[in-house]
Amino acid sequence: MVFTSNPLSLSVPDTSFDAWLRDSGYLEILDQHSSSSATAAPATTSTITSTTTTATATGLFISFFSHIPTLLSLFTLNPFSKLTTDDFSGQTPSWTRSFFADCGSYSFPSGSDQARLRVNENVKRYARNYASLFILFFACTLYQMPLALIGLISSLALWDVFKFCSDRWGWDRYPVLRQVMVRTAQCVTAVVLICLNVQMAFFCAVGISYTVMVLHAAFRKLTPAKQSARSR
């Protein structure tokens, strides 16, 4: 389905038309409408300021710095505000056709509103892809930090030993003893994780994956959602 910027512009204001697109689930049309509205005004000014090379360079300089507030606003958004557990239960979108796609599927957000729209929707659509990227980054970080990898494996082995001993000697019949052993295992696990810098590996993976997720979600254009999803 193809829309003009506002086919009902004589009777419906742009704000009402945008609200109808948002409520109807045509977010990709709203994304295109925001991009076209933002590029309409600079198009006329560029023809005026393109008379001299100095004016063109100044325009590019100003245009670059005008995007800085939008970039900074990306890290003030909450990309998980509309995320639910159902977003992780479906199939993983295709990495080539849906997630990465081609160069034409990316554009700089025209403003903080469009960036917020893209981030909230793309995080829901590609939640499983972003989760896979976090696991990949965490594995790469552990590969670069062998001590952290040893600490993580040691912690998992410690709890496997605890479960084996609990099943072997029936610690469930002694709640006080079992509680003491659980607290002891937790303390030992915390010491191992801290001493071997497992928390640093985790924080590095979280920071890298979060940055990649926010930038990809903000620059990735909204594509038409599946018809079956809209019909529900």
Digit-coded pLDDT (tens) for 150-205: 999 999 999 999 999 888 888 888 889 889 999 999 999 999 999 999 999 999 99
pLDDT for position 38 = 55
User: Does residue 218 carry a pLDDT above 70?
Assistant: yes
pLDDT top residue among 55 and 108: 108
Answer yes or no: is 54 within a domain: yes
Q: How many Å apart are CA 80 and CA 48, to the nearest integer?
A: 43
Q: How many Å apart are CA 38 and CA 71, to the nearest integer?
A: 16
Answer yes or no: is 25 within a domain: yes
pLDDT top residue among 2 and 188: 188
Span 37-96, pLDDT tens digits: 555 444 444 444 444 455 555 555 565 566 677 777 887 888 888 888 888 888 899 999
Could you write out the DSSP letters of every residue in 141-173? HHHH-HHHHHHHHHHHHHHHHHHHHHHHHTGGG
Answer yes or no: is 172 within a domain: no
Answer yes or no: is 125 within a domain: no
Structural domain that includes position 23 = 1-66
Q: How many Å apart are CA 84 and CA 128, to the nearest integer?
A: 12
pLDDT top residue among 145 and 62: 145
Answer yes or no: is 218 within a domain: no
Sorting pLDDT into bands at 50, 70 and 90, what band is 21? Answer: low
pLDDT for position 36 = 59
User: Does residue 228 carry a pLDDT above 70?
Assistant: no
Answer yes or no: is 176 within a domain: no
User: Does residue 211 carry a pLDDT above 80?
Assistant: yes
pLDDT, the chain, mean:
78
Q: How many domains does the chain have?
A: 1
Answer yes or no: is 147 within a domain: no
pLDDT for position 39 = 52
Answer yes or no: is 148 within a domain: no
Q: How many Å apart are CA 216 and CA 115, to the nearest integer?
A: 11
User: Does residue 14 carry a pLDDT above 70?
Assistant: no
